[in-house]
Amino acid sequence: MPIKEIINKSGIAFGTSGARGLNTQFSDRVCAAFTVAFVNAMKVEYSFNQIALAMDRRPSSQFMAQVCAGVLEALGYAVHFYGVLPTPALALQSMKDGIPAIMITGSHIPFDRNGIKFYRPDGEITKADELAIMADTSFLPAFTLAELNEKNTAKEVYLARYTNAFASDLFNGFRLGIYEHSAAGRDLNRDVFESLGATVISLARSDVFVPIDTEAVSDEDKQRALDWVKEYQLDAIFSTDGDGDRPLLSDEKGVWLKGDILGILCAKAISARAIALPINANSSVDFVDFEQVTRTRIGSPYVIAGMASFDEQTDGVAGYEANGGFLCGQGLRLGGSALAALPTRDAILPALAVLAKARLEGVSLSRLVEAVTVRYTASDRLQNIDSERVKKTLANWMVVPQQAVLDLSLESELKGVNTLDGLRLTLMNGDVVHIRPSGNAPELRCYIESDTKENADALNLEVISRLFHYG
């Protein structure tokens, strides 16, 4: 059976961040099919005989990694397996070596699902690469599960990227809680901050996979942060999603920062001048003195394309997303040193850069946040939706946006509509209601923007409760 038929029959497709599906859909043949198709797509542009591989801590990831390594070895490629590793660390190593990479991860989605991310030698694959993978007509070779022998090089390179940027006493006297759960980079995160002098307190380490979503922080985790700051006298709390490309950072009060506000602060801290960001990101960025700001569809491939759209001579190019993931282009600086490009989401950079900025300037993290926050956002999601029903509803609302205003009982007249990615309604009172299906899971996302935090939170609750009837 041709590879494209194996993939099509699996029910797995590319979302905004790799191929995603149920664990049961990622059989050995399906994992092998994606792997061979990826290699074939890369061979069109690159010459290589080695491929980098890593994974997150999901129960199904080990098997999937063994399949990918096994079929790669059957094709004659040497596999550099880096074990459990943050996705950006794998990307950094593969770019350094000039070889493709495969990351087994479902990021923040529930543990009964998983995924595969693919990296070219120069960064994330493109939408054109995705189409080529899905259309591959070759056949699978005979293969067996591989024995995985872990290398530590990628961890060392990633650690050095950040610890070499600052003095080793930067965080002396600073108490940082790390909400470890099952994050792929939980030990590396500790190493980074301890190497820079921080006292690190381990919080909620788990042997069971925990699907942390940095755009929809649970009420339980909100309360945990408030309690942890008081109990351990913390100056901040840091965490990430499952594969370490989306950050979660709290201030000294135990309040989790919004990812797009963290993105603004990081961009300023590393001397960014030109910013690409998705349409759902907080518009406070428009009140900051960046030279260029471009809006894109939601998803790192689109943000990367937005970064690439800037003139080649543009210096200080970066991108970030509402989930907090930060992408580095050319001409950026961290701690006074040049920061190599890393055009994929990274979690530790924005946390480290902003905490360092607060430390060096002698101000609190909450004060930094207040200084750049002009607009306030809130977001949530409905899980396990009826995807076909939701698509039909959204299609109808896009044709008649006023119907969405009525169905959602919005209390202001409609001012503007944007359908670049989902349905984004701007109301006469300045509020924004943005609704879109997730590209990674059967979820309906809701993004709210308003002039106060209280208004944003209240409208978010109202809209989510009404969307429940359409999901």
- List residues with catalytic annotation: 107
d(Cα 335, Cα 321) in Å, to the nearest integer?
22
Q: How far apart are the first and last CA of the chain?
A: 36
Contact (CB, 8 A) for 340 and 162:
no
d(Cα 75, Cα 133) in Å, to the nearest integer?
17
DSSP string, 77-129: -EEEEEEE--HHHHHHHHHHHT--EEEE--TTS-TTEEEEEEEETTEEPPHHH
What number of other Cβ atoms are within 10 A of residue 280's Cβ?
27
What number of other Cβ atoms are within 10 A of residue 98's Cβ?
12
CA-atom Rg of the chain in angstroms? 22
* H or E element that contains 370: helix 365-372
d(Cα 138, Cα 186) in Å, to the nearest integer?
39
> Tokens for 252?
């000294």
Strands 50-55 and 101-104: parallel
